[in-house]
Amino acid sequence: MEYTHLGRTGLSVSRLCLGTMNFGPVTTEPDAHAIMDHAHGQGINFFDTANVYGWGENKGLTERIIGSWFATGGGRRERTVLATKLYGDMGEWPNDGKLSALNIRRACDASLQRLQTDYIDLYQMHHVDRATPWDEIWEAMDVLRQQGKILYVGSSNFAGWHIAQGQEAARRRGTLGLVSEQSIYNLVERTVELEVLPAAQHYGLGVIPWSPLHGGLLGGVLRKLEDGTTGRSTTGRAAEAIEEHRPAIEAWEAFCAERGENPGDVALAWLLHQPAVTAPIVGPRTMNQLEGGLRALDITLDEAALARIDEIFPGPGGTAPEAYAW
């Protein structure tokens, strides 16, 4: 396993992050425990979750599954860099979500209880809260750090200027501020290259891409449709997405076939070649899916290969403003 620092911190994390969103809704608790054990066995020490995972009436279920795994002992908690998130409504009352000081305090305590741990390594804001002042957010986060309940703070789904806002507010307070940003980032969705990635690099944030295969589109979906092995729905919006991107996906799968590699592994490898990226999130439903993602660490893409990929999935044309202006 390869390791790197999370942004400008001294915290070492694996180059792949284990996403746990499927634990509970799709993957049973025993299977989830087995996947987490196998991830540790392969050197993955970076796990990501959120308080809302489990969804609907089962919000919090994923954190509870991770907590029951930690409770089995064997150094599982100590070997894990644990990231969770808050923002989504966990109840029906007005202060059961968002980023008020009240909800930050309550949400953290509730996550700690479900996770059966006394601290969270990386506490992430799942979305920007435009209604809450940054000074209130940072004061609440600073209290949690002083209490030893969290170590680092990260963002998710922030625009570049939100990152700048947060960091400048933290600078005024003399605190560390954000150390990571979790964004949707893959070959199909490259909008973050305009301003989010430059902002993250400027302020020293590690970027943690979610949906690295864009819902399976980059994982060999056309080949799987042909041989009947696709494990995802290919109707409705999924079918529309396939048709919208079919020419690029056909070229992509042909390119990967020429290299003798699985398309999903190459898509992850491409992210690992981007300088702002710390660790893409792989969210396996099964043990086999976790095994497949590990291959990406061994794939090297030279300049010619990267240029060919840019031809297939051009992206926004670079960073702003040069991507759209002189």
Q: Which of 3, 53, 87, 123 is catalytic?
A: 53
Q: Is 240 helix (H, G, I), strand (E, B) or coil?
A: helix
Judge whether 53 counts as a catalytic residue. yes
- Distance between CA atoms of residues 268 and 238, nearest Å: 20
Q: Is 303 helix (H, G, I), strand (E, B) or coil?
A: helix
Pairing between strand 3-5 and 12-14?
Answer: antiparallel
Separate counts of helices (H) and strands (E) for the chain: 11, 10
Q: Which amino acid is at 125?
A: M
CA dihedral 76, 47, 118, 97 (to 10 degrees): -150
The H or E element containing residue 153 is strand 150-156
User: What DSSP designation does 285 have?
Assistant: S
- Distance between CA atoms of residues 110 and 261, nearest Å: 43
Burial of 264 (0-12, 13-18, 19+ CB in 10 A): buried
Residues annotated catalytic, as ranges: 53
